[in-house]
Structure 1
């Protein structure tokens, strides 16, 4: 039996040896095999090229580290990729808002499905505010809570420039321990000190072709907080057992600029008092509520306070004053 099989194999081999290239190419499965082998060869080649490219980058990177130094390589990489200055950041992990959005808790659409405008109210009791607005995630504007605030007359660019003067404890507190948001001006304002060192004409919008600016920062220096709170008082409508955060947030800038659309990652709802200028707000529901809830756009006028949970509402702002900078101060409350 094995002898017959061997003879058959030898016969097939002789037939194959007698075939010309034309005979082989005329076989039905030759073209399929050729296409398959060509694709496989290309894929293999692409993989080799990709590996060579990666190893080349690694070689350049490791050579750069040994030649330039790890500190300079990190500085350049973070500056180019994340726009982070490693000398001014305590944490080198970039704050990627896209990732924060992806992993945030799902929002209940009950908070926004019946809201089609922002109410403006006054003379509200603490009990009514607590029941309807304080913890319901229902945004509202209070129009009469700043009537006796000295901030309305005293807060301006020069006032804050004096407080956050060069080498002051207030400025060091912000630059060492607090948050600073330069928004669209991040290429020119690395610290709050840069804001108060800008050209006088630009700061006060003297030239018609001035370059707009808008910044925000938290104040976590207790002595500075005590000084600021001599110019404003606790909003009367906050529930009696509620405590405001010891942290002040201040936002200031010229017409045309503001904060981009985002959602915050803070602990509590907040109030923001519009001390100077006019600011347009846009509130957008979470993506899972687009089919139920409406986007809201409105303007907060000087002397008004908006109450908003920025952890559940996406929001952006834009200063819309014609000839005045916007100054807003606010705080969280529990």
Structure 2
């Protein structure tokens, strides 16, 4: 086939043909560009397909770039700087900025004001988050946390002579086998008392009113035994009728000399209420630090449940009086704790429902401790003693003046 070229002569009079040639030329250029673009696209697609693994269920979408693989040198430098400076900044804030702000706040408001505000904040948080009503202030809790390094001694099989000497020194002590001969130990507990003596009464600290033991689980605002905590007074008629039965299952502990007991629960004749008090409480409840305004010795026996105790007493530092750092001890069922006049104490139930009784006893007296205490009081201004007692909520700040040691039939007593 012979291919030839057709030559078209354009003359001014042939304008239509001229326009067609121009349009044809433009179309050729466009087709050429599109053809080149499609070729380039096929090459790129072909190259991409070789990089993407394919198989059943694989997406044809190209995966994104892995994080960090494209990080620039500037990014690495910036990350390194931040990794070094951020911890340093936090340390500077913790050890410099915050203490400096604290110092400025104390300087402006005063240390006592700042401390008071801190305790108020802690009390508010406890009020909002605690399941039971607030029973111990943050200030008292801080006092308990600053405890003594000393520990209260625990003894077993103690002789009467050893016991008398320990009490003479006024040393708080736990006798771990104190209830070994008691019928009530292993029998008396919260549930037993509530079932056996439903008409007996206790003063509910949360509701601030007397309730029968049978109604503890029906307290307004509480479910079951939640937050139950209170004491049983033997002077109440509702309890007096049970006292003799309760005491029949308790006896004078083996370490107490029988011939020294006078006007105690252990020689109860039924003519007047014995000097004893019962306490009942569930975990999470307790009694804030306070003083019992009486002169006799105290023996607390734990029949069920587990309690934390703290004890402290007045100590003289020059012409000032302050409370000693508290001694903290845990009292378990079957144990007895001895403590004495003018001792600040608190209790807190930590396990199971606690049932305990506290007895006051006149013998043996804490003779050395008591005489040392009175001498310290005499060597300072009376306002020192008064303020110490007032801060602890003592109603009769002169109760200690009524205490005396006396001797009869060769035995010394405190009353």
- What is the TM-score when the length of structure 1 is the normalising length? 0.52
Q: State the 1:252 CA deviation.
A: 0.8
Give the 5 Å matches for 1:1-334: 116-133=150-167, 135-162=168-195, 164-166=197-199, 171=201, 181-183=203-205, 185=206, 188-193=207-212, 195-199=213-217, 211-220=226-235, 223-243=241-261, 244-245=264-265, 246-286=274-314, 288=316, 293-309=324-340, 311-321=341-351, 324-334=352-362
Number of residue-to-residue matches in the alignment: 198
Q: What do residues 177-225 of structure 1 show as CA deviations (whole Å, max 9, x unaligned)?
A: xxx6533x1xx241132x53032799xx998xx6312111221365422
Q: State the 1:150 CA deviation.
A: 2.2
Q: What do residues 248-280 of structure 1 show as CA deviations (whole Å, max 9, x unaligned)?
A: 211111001111110111231111111111100
Q: Residue in 2 aligned with 1:12? A: none
Q: State the 1:281 CA deviation.
A: 0.6
The question of whether the paired residues in 2 share the 8 Å contact of 1:273 and 1:304 is answered with yes
Q: What do residues 284-331 of structure 1 show as CA deviations (whole Å, max 9, x unaligned)?
A: 22264677943211101111110111x32100010010xx20111121
Q: Which runs of 5+ in 1 are unaligned?
A: 1-113, 172-179
CA RMSD of aligned residues (A): 3.0
- Structure ranking higher in strand proportion: 2
The question of whether the paired residues in 2 share the 8 Å contact of 1:115 and 1:293 is answered with no
Structure with higher Rg: it is 2
Name which of structure 1's ranges 240-249 and 299-308 shifts more when overlaid on structure 2. 240-249
- What is the TM-score when the length of structure 2 is the normalising length? 0.43
Q: State the 1:149 CA deviation.
A: 1.9
Indicate the structure whose relative CO is greater, using CA pairs within 8 Å and at least 6 residues apart: 1
Secondary structure, counterpart of 1:153 in structure 2? coil
Alpha-carbon distance in structure 2 between the residues aligned to 1:152 and 1:200: 28
The question of whether the paired residues in 2 share the 8 Å contact of 1:126 and 1:240 is answered with no
The question of whether the paired residues in 2 share the 8 Å contact of 1:252 and 1:325 is answered with yes
The question of whether the paired residues in 1 share the 8 Å contact of 2:252 and 2:258 is answered with no
The question of whether the paired residues in 2 share the 8 Å contact of 1:116 and 1:294 is answered with no
The question of whether the paired residues in 1 share the 8 Å contact of 2:299 and 2:336 is answered with yes
